[in-house]
């Protein structure tokens, strides 16, 4: 019963965040202008990471990095040396143990199948690959959660211990749960909490 309820809630969450107009082809063959993503002004934002360049000097081991995406915000933990640990839905680790194949660029098909099959990976990528050309918000969640951040070295060690295949749930075990567990000691997703509270 709980599995069925969780499945339905996850699907409702996905549907609530899909812009149907983004699934349609552009009018007249031209790309439509997108509205800029809303940003909270109190957040510290770093410019987009440059391919092949070093990370901005203000990243410290254990920092929480946020990248705004179209429908949600993606989260990771900075490990140092231009590396970020982050949790993504991914079916491939369930199908093969070939680490080179798994580390390749994750496709939308891999992501969707990961969500549907409830499989994910905590993986380590470069800052550039993690950001995917977007600006990075640095430790912005520190102002939104009630707990204090753990020391940076402990945060990074927690993230490193979790690298590998894990179960996935859009509502109970997503990238935000991963980073809040690592940084604050308790898994929580403010994004899913907001959506679930909106249904009350």
Q: Residues 144-167: pLDDT tens digits?
A: 888 899 999 999 999 999 999 999
* Fold exhibited by the domain 63-91+110-184: endopeptidase fold (from Nostoc punctiforme) (3.90.1720)
Out of 117, 175, 182, 196, the active site residue is: 175
The string of pLDDT tens digits covering residues 108-141 is 888 888 899 999 999 999 999 999 889 999 999 9
Q: What span, in angstroms and rounded, lies between the C-alpha atoms of 113 and 1?
A: 23
Does the annotation mark 175 as catalytic?
yes
Q: Which residues contact 90 (CB under 8 A, 6 or more apart)?
A: 102, 106, 110, 111, 114, 119, 120, 121, 123
CB 163 within 8 A of CB 124: yes
Query: With 70 as the cut, is the pLDDT of residue 180 above it?
Result: yes
Give SS3 for 78: strand
Give SS3 for 125: strand
Under the banding of pLDDT at 50, 70 and 90, the label for residue 100 is confident
């Amino acid at each position: 019963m709980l599995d069925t309820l969780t499945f339905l809630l996850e699907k409702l969450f996905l549907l609530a965040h899909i812009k149907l107009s983004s699934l349609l082809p552009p009018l007249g063959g031209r790309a439509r202008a997108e509205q800029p993503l809303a940003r909270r002004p109190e957040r510290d934002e770093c410019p987009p990471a440059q391919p092949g360049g070093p990370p901005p000097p203000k990243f410290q081991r254990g920092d929480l990095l946020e990248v705004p995406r179209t429908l949600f915000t993606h989260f990771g933990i900075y490990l140092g040396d231009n590396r970020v640990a982050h949790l993504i839905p991914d079916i491939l680790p369930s199908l093969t143990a070939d680490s080179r194949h798994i580390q390749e660029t994750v496709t939308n098909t891999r992501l969707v199948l990961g969500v549907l099959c409830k499989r994910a990976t905590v993986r380590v990528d470069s800052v550039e690959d993690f950001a995917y050309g977007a600006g990075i918000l640095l430790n912005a969640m520190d102002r939104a959660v009630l707990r204090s951040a753990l020391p940076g070295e402990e945060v990074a060690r927690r993230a490193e211990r979790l690298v590998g295949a894990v179960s996935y749930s859009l509502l109970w075990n997503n990238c935000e749960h991963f980073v809040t567990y690592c940084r604050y000691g308790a898994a929580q997703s403010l994004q899913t909490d907001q959506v679930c509270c909106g249904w009350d």
